[in-house]
Structure 1
């Protein structure tokens, strides 16, 4: 059952060095505040999982938190490459990063399989793709009913899943509104889950068919206003497009990146905006 605590305490309690960590949110509700707290607590040797790693994972990789990335597509949306990710893969700075690339469809199916407690996901895909040549997690099996050749990938079962959402009620139920990605599946698939929210309310005011994650599936809830910035939170604040453009220059140079970390994460006194 969900407990309410500070973000610092939630990360310290549930996330350990060497853990497999999923941080999800599609276009908006990306858990930047939680990622920055991971950096401040200097968590190391993490396996990071995300369907579309963007600048948050660039920051975590550049800060030396990660040794492995499981993903589908990575980039600075609308701008270009993730330079800290490329530096880690190509030159091993600040440490070497292993990558396992999947398709979007495979990642979504793997999260669903994890949420269902299954060991693997099966899908039609990867036929004619080169990814199976470089990703040993992609296998092929024969359907026992039709004989069809199908792709299989391991289920995603993180040690910790972290998401950001708009609201939580006092019973620990969480409302995710607007564009919904695989946040629900990520939480249900994980051993432990941490949710940051814009506010804690008496009533979620959830519409019919809304995405409500029940409190029994969540370990920790932290109220962090602006916890998704510079991405946006539907109904609360817009996307900071300027920062995504600025990140291209910040992340290209190691010294400039380290200065940014010192000024806006390590010395932010809490949350970096």
Structure 2
């Protein structure tokens, strides 16, 4: 069954106000910026964002007023430092206050892994002695039943929806991804619903030719969106590289509320779809980001 929808339809159907949404799960690559921008255009409210390093997409959603809670290890601008909108929200409640539950990269991964396998929690010794368990009430320090030593219990975290950007998918939601995947697989399996955003829409036969690259079961996928360059300015291995200049420009322009609002109007609010966004980005800039040297994996023999 085809699940192919437009970006606007996918967000309208499957990311309602108040939803918990896992994004940016491959760390620096494969960040679904096109989804985030459509969320902003549809003026979603009271979202809880879940993720590891949580690059500037989180910052944009916070600045646009879409977010009420953050469950993450870090929010900012990886190559530049601070996320100005995140800082304004935490320190000055601008545009409004947000609730923050802190994790490390490892423990946010464990929380999603627990939900993906149906476990109520996963015990670990990481973070013992740090301030994070005191800040995050979800994390509990208990005694191990095996040797009475302290352990940290990381409870399962199930997003209402996980959004993953991939290199290619068929219309049923069987998706291929490669390169650094971070915690995409755990978040895919943990979520109630999944939205796939793909640079290429391919046949089911293409997916079957390499089944080990399938990210997760298609029955969890609610929508497949074909959105070339949908992860820009982050990278998609084999498609396009990271736009470092874009991150720098964002950092410089969003230091003030007025600067962020001007940036938001230019790149999101006055841009009805990704095609218009790419036209604004320009062919020359896109050409500098395209892959210069292809490096294909060796063929795999699935014969029997």
* TMscore range, shorter length: over 0.9
Q: Determine which structure has the larger strand proportion and give its number.
A: 1
Q: Deviations over 1:90-114 (max 9, x none)?
A: 0000010111111111111111001
Match of 1:25 in 2: 26
Q: How far 1:133 moved relative to its partner?
A: 2.0
Q: Distance in 2 between matches of 1:155 and 1:2?
A: 31
Check conservation: 1:31, 1:196, Cα contact below 8 A: yes
CA-atom RMSD in angstroms = 1.6
Cα offsets for 1:124-172 (capped at 9, x unmatched): 1112101122221221122223323210122110111111000002442
Q: Which of 221, 225, 233 is the matching residue for 1:222?
A: 225
Residue in structure 1 matched with residue 266 of structure 2 by the alignment: 263
In 2, the alpha carbon distance for the partners of 1:2 and 1:192 equals 16
Structure 2 SS opposite 1:110: helix
Assess if the C-alpha contact under 8 Å between 2:58 and 2:75 holds in 1.
no
Q: Secondary structure at the match of 2:215?
A: strand
Match runs of 1:1-273 below 5 Å: 3-23=3-23, 24-202=25-203, 203-204=206-207, 209-271=212-274, 272=277
Say how many residue pairs are matched. 273
Q: Deviation string for 1:61-119 (max 9, x for gaps)? A: 00000011000122211211000000000000001011111111111111100111222
CA contact (8 A) 2:171 2:224 kept: no
CA contact (8 A) 2:71 2:102 kept: yes
Change (3 A) 1:2 1:72: farther
Q: CA deviation at 1:205?
A: 7.2
Q: Which runs of 4 or more aligned residues in structure 1 lie more than 4 Å from their structure 2 counterparts after TM superposition?
A: 205-209
TM-aligned CA distance change 1:14 to 1:238, over 3 Å: same
- Conserved 8 A contact 1:175-1:206: no
Q: Larger deviation: 103-112 or 116-125?
A: 116-125
**Cα offset, 1:214, TM superposition:** 2.5
Unaligned runs of 5+ in 2: 279-304
Is the Cα–Cα contact under 8 Å of residues 70 and 100 in structure 1 kept in the other structure? yes
Paired residue secondary structure (2:235): coil
Greater Rg over alpha carbons, structure: 2
CA distance in 1, matches of 2:6, 2:87: 33
- Local SS of the residue matching 1:26: coil
Structure 1 runs not aligned, ≥5 long: none
3-state SS of paired residue (1:252): coil
TM-score, L = length of structure 2: 0.86
| Higher helix proportion (structure 1 or 2) | 2
Is this contact kept in 1: 2:69–2:100, CA < 8 A? yes
Residues 21 and 48 of structure 1 are in contact (CA less than 8 Å); yes or no, is this contact kept in structure 2?
Answer: yes
Q: Which moved more, 1:18-27 or 1:34-43?
A: 18-27
SS in 1 for 2:254: helix
